[in-house]
């Protein structure tokens, strides 16, 4: 299942692909090749080795084919990185809210320590230069994770494990914010211990 996030002035690929249009249908192989090329180029030489011409060349595709489908480099990157990633989220249920949260945070930290980490930081950074990108990143990455966390927290509140008055939104950011901060700032390591300690610090005092 592909993206639901629309990108600037461009019908979604699926919409174009599946609908009964007149005209030659867009080649679905090209779509995959372009995204694959984009991923490879970023992996090989960093974010600014990523040129449209380079992508097109490696994908064995004309530049126009790229431009026909994506309005800018950023949205290619979004699609390239979130093709499969988006869906896999974690929603543990150990019976203890704090434990659930700790597991979630641990997994999140582990994820960011892997190959995904640098991509996420790049995407978050890129969003500062391109509101479109930022929007897409929020919708496809940040929000899904915030929702999960909110669910776990709300479950904790209902069970009476977490105090009723707690502002859930702020709590979520108190948990996730520091992780993103270390990811971007690189002023301190993103360890499992950090996750644990962070949960301890934030959650202590919130329990009913």
Residues of the shown chain interacting with a copy of itself in the complex, contacts defined by CB under 8 A: 46-48, 121-122, 124-129, 134, 138, 142-143, 146, 166-167, 169-171, 173-174, 176-182, 184-188, 194, 197-198, 201-206
What is the token pair recorded at 36? 């694959």
Q: Which is nearer to DNA, 53 or 165 (CB)?
A: 53
Q: Which letter does DSSP use for residue 27 in this model? A: P
Binding site partner of 147, from DNA, a copy of itself, none, Cβ cut-off 5-8 A by kind = none
Binding site partner of 146, from a copy of itself, DNA, none, Cβ cut-off 5-8 A by kind = a copy of itself
Q: Which is nearer to DNA, 54 or 92 (CB)?
A: 54
Among 2, 8, 54, 202, binds DNA (CB under 7 A): 54
Cα angle at 149 between 123 and 93, to 5 degrees?
Answer: 130
Binding site partner of 158, from a copy of itself, DNA, none, Cβ cut-off 5-8 A by kind = none
Q: Cβ atoms within 10 A of the Cβ of 23, count?
A: 6
Q: 120-139 burial by CB neighbour count: b if 16+ within 10 A, else e?
A: bbbbbebbeebebbbbbbeb
- Cα separations (Å) of 65 from 24, 104, 119, 139, 149? 13, 40, 25, 26, 40
Binding site partner of 201, from a copy of itself, DNA, none, Cβ cut-off 5-8 A by kind = a copy of itself
Binding site for DNA (CB under 7 A): 16, 20-27, 30, 51-54, 60-65, 67-69, 72-73
């Amino acid at each position: 299942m592909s993206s639901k996030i629309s990108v600037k002035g461009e019908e979604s690929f699926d919409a174009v692909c599946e609908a009964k249009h007149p005209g030659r249908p867009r080649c679905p192989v090209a779509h995959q090749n372009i995204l694959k090329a984009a991923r490879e180029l970023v992996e090989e030489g960093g974010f600014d080795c990523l040129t449209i011409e380079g992508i097109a060349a490696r994908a064995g595709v004309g530049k126009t084919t790229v431009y026909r489908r994506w309005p800018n480099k950023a949205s290619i990157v979004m699609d390239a990185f979130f093709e499969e990633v988006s869906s896999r989220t974690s929603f543990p249920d150990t019976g203890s809210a704090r434990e659930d949260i700790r597991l979630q945070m641990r997994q999140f930290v582990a994820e960011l320590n892997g190959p995904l980490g640098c991509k996420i930081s790049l995407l978050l950074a890129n969003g500062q230069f391109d509101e479109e990108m930022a929007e897409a990143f929020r919708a496809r990455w940040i929000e899904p994770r915030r929702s999960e966390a909110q669910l776990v927290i709300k479950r904790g509140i209902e069970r009476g494990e977490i105090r009723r008055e707690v502002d859930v939104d702020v709590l979520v950011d108190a948990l996730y914010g520091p992780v993103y901060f270390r990811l971007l700032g690189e002023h301190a390591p993103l360890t499992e211990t950090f996750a644990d300690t962070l949960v301890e610090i934030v959650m202590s005092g919130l329990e009913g």
